[in-house]
Structure 1
Amino acid sequence: MDSAVMAGLRRLLEPDGWGLLETLPPYSEETAMRLSEGLRSRGVDPDLVAAALTQSRLRGRAASKFGDFASGMLFTQAGLEQATRLSVGAHHARRYVAAGSDLVADLGCGLGGDAMALSALGVPVLAVEADEATAALATVNLRHFPTARVRHADAMSLDLAAEGADAVFADPARRTRGGRRVFDPAAYQPALADLLALRETVPALGLKVAPGIPYSALPRDTGAQWVSVDGDVVEAGLWFGPLAPEGPGRSALVLAGDDAHILTESEKVAGTDAGAPDAPARAGEVRAVGEYLYEPDGAVIRAGLVARSAEDLRAGLVSEGIAYLTGDEFVDTPFATGYRVLDHFVFGLKRLRGYLRERSVGAVAIKKRGTAVEPERLRRQLALKGDGEATIVLTRLAGRQSVLVVEPLT
């Protein structure tokens, strides 16, 4: 962690720093400069002002992940980016409660988000973090939970048996020191293989991994679940032993507001190994465009369950390898966004421009999949004028670059 950032955090942990932070109004870019100048004019140390305003800004951003808890927490930018949303952490925690866990070792606890969710459900946690400053922030964030302990240590050096841990949760670092994302599971810190080896000591193992993890990297005994929150894919989790009562396989957890929906491969498909975690995604049937178009949720796509979703929707793919589905009847589902198809034709700039101008369309929402067309560039090229609005989908139909004009359905 940058030395200046560490120095600022230390100041905030002192009584005058914490007091200043607690008196700041909700962060606003429009008023931050004026507020900073006012504090400095009153003699408040400029470095402390900068640290407090940075925390105020991070707390504002953290509200989408931690809700009201964010106003009493401390963050780093990197830690906030990797932190588990509290709503997702609650689903993690319920697995440990259902498994009857007595002590969860949270390895690489970061800012303590998952430890907070576990503690809120009464599960004792030993939260371990290798970075000293981050461990200090986790201690602050977990201060209201007496069943949570934070330890500054190398997570892989922990003697799980000696600590009495009967379950493990690990969130390995997936960014380089420079902030670049790491996609190779062998380059996680700790490496995925090292974390998987913990099953020999503690079978109840849960791991948070990147959503883009290849199926080939998934062990056969894992229950792998991709999670989306309000349409955004936020993580994949690997669950083992009593934490995966549903058994090995891939699933999608779709969270929208207070609602949670899970889609799994219904059964192993005859003649295939589709239900296995490391099996390729089923291809699905291609159909001609029907009256409705469906855009599967990102978690469904990542989990390789597009063909599974198509079965429930009585729909088919618009083209091989394209995750849009089409059918002749509307089926309401939490696993896909539905559209009514108004028209469709082979893509051509001149034809599309004329089509939209004839209908006085001045504002167009552009969705795409399976095409190299850049929406913003296309929008400039269309140069539309008018009071109407339209939604168009750029994709392939039966292998040809095409346009669908659609109407979103609630």
Structure 2
Amino acid sequence: MDDAALAKLLHPEGWALLQALPPYDERLALPLAERLQREGLDAGLVAAALTQSRLRAKARGKLGDFADGMLFTPDGLEQATRLEVAAHHARRFRDAGCVYVADLTCGLGADALALAGVGLRVVATDVDETTAALATVNLRAFPEVEVRHGDGLALDLVAEGVDGVWADPARRTGTGRRVFDPRAYAPPLDEVLAARATVPALGLKLGPGIAHRDLPVDAEAQWVSVDGDVVEVGLWFGPLAPDGPGRTALVLRGGVPHTLRGDPDGEHHAPPVGPVGAYLYEPDGAVIRAGLVGTVAQRVRGRLVDPTIAYVTADALTPDPLATAYRVLDEMPFGLKRLRTYLRERGVGRLTIKKRGTAVVPETLRRQLDLRGSAEGTVVLTRVAGHQRVLVVEPV
């Protein structure tokens, strides 16, 4: 959506139209657009309003009811922090004693909204004029937030009286391609990290795929997942990391937080490896990204099935919110004919295929198996002690 289209929505007529639209339904969008134009509304205004209605519907998954009063761009919504995650960010600053936070890259304002929501004063900046304008609209209900168009790194943090800094550098090019080199972020990671020399309470949101070697040694790096989806790694410095540097995981399931921190003396030690037991555990993706699979193995009194695979096995069940547990029903070498016969003999027609450490494509394998039957089944394709194996399991 271009700037002219967004400008139309900021006029009283455009805002009234947007607020009056019914819940977005892709099937009804075209007939609705045609009806509104027949009623005399400008085609460009109608298109802009319907685009915003679609983006708001998509944003509800991240921002809940707040989305209904906000304006978005596709790229801005893509990078916006989920509200429940932003709330955890905000509580870090509040619990560290911060009262005035500079959001150096505010985007559409999701994190600034959460910071204001816990009672903090915020100065929010963005280098893009349109984005800053949209953030101003989105944060209009929060007098604690001042939105400015400009380079957040140019702020005089001391003169402003800021005691906490937050940043979410852009990690895509103008064409949408992902950027993996921290030096190519916008702004570059090193330039943002320099702020901690002035304001030690620095927090950053980065992509969860960042290499461990690129993490500052003085940071608490916390990988975050929401209902199984790994969404970010947060870097926390100074008073925002009260337990000191290290790698941690925050797993949010159904809104309930579960945290894991490895033993500073043992989190990098390789966990034991052994045969498949009665239960198989699949650690949450945030745990895997943080390199804390060994810590989960300790918690469930288990071992790895292979030194290169992030599956944990154990002889007894120890439920853990940081890993999904399966009961192991059978184990066999991988072979298409053998697996097909096994599943057909048991009437399995609907099959869940999980994999790790194998080149097999689940969709292709499902077609090759050509299963028929009313029973459901789950198989795990993985390496066990260096060999390709099939584990037949059922969720606990």
TM-score (norm 2): 0.99
1:88 matched to 2:81: no
Instruction: Letter of the 2:160 partner, please give it.
Output: E
User: What is the 5 A alignment of 1:6-405?
Assistant: 6-269=3-266, 274=267, 281-405=268-392
Unaligned runs of 5+ in 1: 275-280
Return the offset for 1:266: 2.5
The answer for the alignment partner of 1:277 in structure 2 is none
Instruction: Letter of the 2:31 partner, please give it.
Output: R
2:196 counterpart SS class: helix
**Per-residue CA shift, 1:141-167, capped at 9, x if unaligned?**
100001001000012211111211111
Counterpart contact for 2:247–2:261, Cα < 8 Å: yes
Alignment length, in residue pairs? 396
Alpha-carbon distance between aligned partners in 2 of 1:156 and 1:348, rounded to the nearest angstrom: 57
Alpha-carbon distance between aligned partners in 2 of 1:246 and 1:90, rounded to the nearest angstrom: 20
Return the offset for 1:267: 3.6
Alpha-carbon distance between aligned partners in 2 of 1:375 and 1:296, rounded to the nearest angstrom: 20
Instruction: Letter of the 2:7 partner, please give it.
Output: R
Return the offset for 1:383: 0.7
Alpha-carbon distance between aligned partners in 1 of 2:297 and 2:286, rounded to the nearest angstrom: 14
Return the offset for 1:10: 0.7
Alpha-carbon distance between aligned partners in 1 of 2:176 and 2:260, rounded to the nearest angstrom: 33
Return the offset for 1:256: 1.2
Instruction: Letter of the 2:339 partner, please give it.
Output: L
Return the offset for 1:102: 2.1
**Per-residue CA shift, 1:286-318, capped at 9, x if unaligned?**
110000000000000000000011000111111
Aligned residues: percent identity? Answer: 63
Return the offset for 1:78: 0.6
**Per-residue CA shift, 1:60-101, capped at 9, x if unaligned?**
111111111111111111111111011001000001111111
Counterpart contact for 1:293–1:325, Cα < 8 Å: yes
Alpha-carbon distance between aligned partners in 2 of 1:56 and 1:378, rounded to the nearest angstrom: 40
Counterpart contact for 1:346–1:402, Cα < 8 Å: yes
2:2 counterpart SS class: helix
Counterpart contact for 1:283–1:321, Cα < 8 Å: no
Instruction: Letter of the 1:168 partner, please give it.
Output: V
2:259 counterpart SS class: strand
Counterpart contact for 2:246–2:264, Cα < 8 Å: no
Instruction: Letter of the 1:165 partner, please give it.
Output: V
1:345 counterpart SS class: strand
Alpha-carbon distance between aligned partners in 2 of 1:167 and 1:68, rounded to the nearest angstrom: 28
Return the offset for 1:282: 3.7
Unaligned runs of 5+ in 2: none
Alpha-carbon distance between aligned partners in 1 of 2:88 and 2:370, rounded to the nearest angstrom: 47
1:149 counterpart SS class: strand
Counterpart contact for 1:282–1:305, Cα < 8 Å: no
Instruction: Letter of the 1:367 partner, please give it.
Output: K
Displacement over 3 Å in runs of 4+: none
Alpha-carbon distance between aligned partners in 1 of 2:302 and 2:361, rounded to the nearest angstrom: 28
Instruction: Letter of the 1:131 partner, please give it.
Output: D
TM-score (norm 1): 0.95
Instruction: Letter of the 2:316 partner, please give it.
Output: E
Alpha-carbon distance between aligned partners in 1 of 2:196 and 2:255, rounded to the nearest angstrom: 33
Instruction: Letter of the 2:172 partner, please give it.
Output: R
Return the offset for 1:248: 0.7
